[in-house]
Structure 1
Amino acid sequence: MVFAITGNPVGKTFFIYLFLLLAAILGQDILLEPFGAEAFGLTVTQTTRITSIWGTFVLAAIIIAGLLEGRIAKRIMAQIGNLGALAGFVVIVLSGFTRSSSIFYTGVTLLGLGTGFSTVANLSLMFDLTTAGNVGLYIGAWGVSNAMSRLAGSVLGGAMRDAVAQLTGVALNGYLIVFGIEALMLAGAALMLSRINVSAFRKQTSEPSFVEKVAMASE
């Protein structure tokens, strides 16, 4: 599995792309509600609604993306989602500086919409970036990237926030720094997406690797 990914430039790029994208999106899972309480003094009842609002817009975006699939190129739809989620993080950081809950909810809405579009498009790309004889191999590799991103997102969302809060002595700073890092990760993923080409991936997988060429030459 490792050689199949590292030996294919497009496959390697997609692996890193998925890691950055999912670590950023999944890293906010444990942050939005406590951030709402810390930054805006929201009650427990109000903070529990944050995830519901986010989830509602994720679902709405998934439905819309499903209807648009086939009409809009997958990479374009994925980029719309990536940039939407990126904008969401930027707006959430802005809400922390301005202490505006209305700006915060706007950021949550953008984050939800971006996540939904990104989910549909990137799942389609995952299946496109396979080959007929190695579907399980590549889907397994993308699954490994997913699992690694979940771990990284949890560490980023927990340990990094706590470390920054302790260093600065201001709890809110921990949230803002992490949201800022997640925005940068999404920016990096958006740049990498432009280098992911399904046709190039399949061409590279159809060509024998250097090791295979050496083996054939020695026969």
Structure 2
Amino acid sequence: MTRQLSDKAPGLGWLSIVRLGFVQASLGSIVVLTTSTLNRVMVVELALAAMIPGLLVGLHYGVQISRPLWGHGSDKGGSRTPWIVGGVALLGLSGTAAAATTLLFTDHFWLAISAAVVSFLGVGIGIGAAGTSLLALLASRTALHRKPAAATIVWMMMIAGIVVTAIVSGAWLDPFTFTRLIVVTACASVIALLMTCLAIWNVERATVPVDGPPAAQRLGFRQSLAATWADRDARLFTVFVFVSMLAYSTQDLILEPFGGLLFGLTPGETTQISGVQHSGIFAGMALVGILGSLFARRKPMILKGFIFFGCIGSAIALGGLSIAALVAPLWPLQANIFLLGVANGAFAVAAIGAMMMLASGGDGASEGMRMGVWGAAQAVSFGLGGFLGTVALDVTRALTGDTPLSFAVVFGLEAGLFLLAAAIALLIKTPARSRAPDAMPSAYVVPAE
């Protein structure tokens, strides 16, 4: 056994971390078509009530409440690679099937609804299985001092995948047809699966966990879950993730219909609007990295500051969208959405840094469980946020008969949620210094409390 393990690295190198980033990019490329573009098509081109795609997307998030179970399975299991590849394959197949249901809605409404429900359930299971296992692999095979930087790299590559897919698919979707939507989604899914297989190949087999007990000696599911929830910082961070992601996701399903109904944008143009937002997220993450490198050593509270001011900036940008709804089409929509993305990216990358630090806490053997708990909190909030956003829009439109006012009200509610998330962020303790601080970006280096 000693000779067998001697050829294996004790943790992931930077090249392997970047390769895993391509897996996350693959996940993002399929999700942006399934939850953003398909949502807009259902609301605008098919003239369905906004709560129908809201309920479908909420369903795929609801399935992901079982993420802690998958995370624990990754902690106990012998290999995470099959979960990752299988999850991406199921995600791509289900996403393509969901796009295909658009051909049924005109003449076979209930058949289309039934097929869409099955498809979105598959989307949720695929994302949960692949995403949780990927984060567990990163957490268990990455040295502590590399975890914040590794999480940032992987997250930024996911955003890059979303941006590229949104821009390229947006160009191919016009002139729009339902058949073209299916073909574009299928092609994106095949590319994502091939990229995942190439990226993950031999990564897990060539490394060993950096610390923690062997899989067979780890805690049972209930004990591991109880230990995670008993940790004050882990529990508080779960609440922050839930509230901040609820604020973010409430606009997720109404942003493209907003551009189509009030600004007269085509499906391809609203898909590209989604790309503009994610470009802003990418820029916000990069900005945090640069400022952190300059000031983190002199200002140890900068990590919490990025989280706080990112939430405040998101609230301000959503306030701008409320005004945009009332003065459309005169408002500079793309600039406003880009600024929203920058603020979202700033708080997200700082939160990811805190997440990877906190994942190393506790017994040092529950990275998958902790990632699963936080992933479940995010999934539930995304499901509720997307659905509640569409319901709030439909109800307000029914009560007032005023579409611009309805959008303004919903965006204003989201801004309030971000202000609440900012208040919660102030209660989270700054993560302790890594064991090897000099090897990680200074944006994440803070003195031990």
Question: So what's the TM-score if we normalise by structure 2?
Answer: 0.41
- Cα displacement (A) at 1:122: 0.8
Q: Which residue of 2 aligns with 1:144?
A: 376
Q: Which residue of 1 aligns with 2:282?
A: 59
- Cα displacement (A) at 1:100: 5.1
Q: Which residue of 2 aligns with 1:21?
A: 244
For 1:174 and 1:2, the matched residues in 2 are separated by 41
Q: Which residue of 2 aligns with 1:125?
A: 354
1:21-170 matched pairs, under 5 angstroms: 21-70=244-293, 71-72=295-296, 73-99=302-328, 101-130=330-359, 131=361, 132-170=364-402
- Cα displacement (A) at 1:184: 0.8
Q: Which residue of 2 aligns with 1:212?
A: none
Structure 1, unaligned stretches of length 5 or more? Answer: 201-219
For 1:77 and 1:105, the matched residues in 2 are separated by 24
For 2:408 and 2:229, the matched residues in 1 are separated by 34
**Relative to 1, partners in 2 of residues 1:140 and 1:48: Cα closer, same or farther, differing over 3 Å?**
closer
**Relative to 1, partners in 2 of residues 1:2 and 1:184: Cα closer, same or farther, differing over 3 Å?**
farther
Identity, % of aligned positions: 26
- Checking the alignment, whether the CA contact within 8 Å between 1:38 and 1:172 is kept in structure 2 is no
How many pairs were matched up? 200
Q: Which residue of 1 aligns with 2:178?
A: none
Q: Which SS does the other structure have where 1:102 is aligned?
A: coil
- Given residue 110 of structure 1, which amino acid in structure 2 is its aligned partner? L
- Cα displacement (A) at 1:45: 4.9
Q: Which residue of 2 aligns with 1:12?
A: 235
Deviations 1:95-130 (A, max 9, x none): 122335434333212211011112211111111223
For 1:135 and 1:44, the matched residues in 2 are separated by 40
- Given residue 383 of structure 2, which amino acid in structure 1 is its aligned partner? L
Deviations 1:18-49 (A, max 9, x none): 11111221222221221123233344454333
- Cα displacement (A) at 1:8: 3.9
- Checking the alignment, whether the CA contact within 8 Å between 2:310 and 2:346 is kept in structure 1 is yes
**Relative to 1, partners in 2 of residues 1:36 and 1:170: Cα closer, same or farther, differing over 3 Å?**
same
Which of structures 1 and 2 has the larger relative contact order (alpha carbons within 8 angstroms, sep 6+)? 1
For 2:346 and 2:406, the matched residues in 1 are separated by 28
Q: Single out whichever of 172-181 and 185-194 deviates more from structure 2.
A: 172-181
- Checking the alignment, whether the CA contact within 8 Å between 2:324 and 2:333 is kept in structure 1 is yes
Q: Which residue of 2 aligns with 1:180?
A: 412
Q: Single out whichever of 94-103 and 47-56 deviates more from structure 2.
A: 94-103
**Relative to 1, partners in 2 of residues 1:134 and 1:2: Cα closer, same or farther, differing over 3 Å?**
closer
- Checking the alignment, whether the CA contact within 8 Å between 1:17 and 1:189 is kept in structure 2 is yes
For 1:64 and 1:198, the matched residues in 2 are separated by 20
- Checking the alignment, whether the CA contact within 8 Å between 1:78 and 1:117 is kept in structure 2 is yes
- Given residue 176 of structure 1, which amino acid in structure 2 is its aligned partner? A
Moved over 6 A (4+): none
Deviations 1:162-182 (A, max 9, x none): 122112222233322221111
CA RMSD of aligned residues (A): 2.4
For 1:137 and 1:164, the matched residues in 2 are separated by 40
**Relative to 1, partners in 2 of residues 1:198 and 1:141: Cα closer, same or farther, differing over 3 Å?**
farther
Matched, 1:171 2:403: yes
- Given residue 21 of structure 1, which amino acid in structure 2 is its aligned partner? S
Q: Single out whichever of 111-120 and 167-176 deviates more from structure 2.
A: 167-176
Alignment counterpart, residue 428 of structure 2, candidates 196, 199, 208: 196
Structure 2, unaligned stretches of length 5 or more? Answer: 1-223, 297-301, 433-449
- Cα displacement (A) at 1:6: 4.8
- Checking the alignment, whether the CA contact within 8 Å between 2:246 and 2:385 is kept in structure 1 is yes
- Checking the alignment, whether the CA contact within 8 Å between 1:88 and 1:108 is kept in structure 2 is yes
- Given residue 33 of structure 1, which amino acid in structure 2 is its aligned partner? E
Deviations 1:161-213 (A, max 9, x none): 1122112222233322221111111000001100011469xxxxxxxxxxxxx
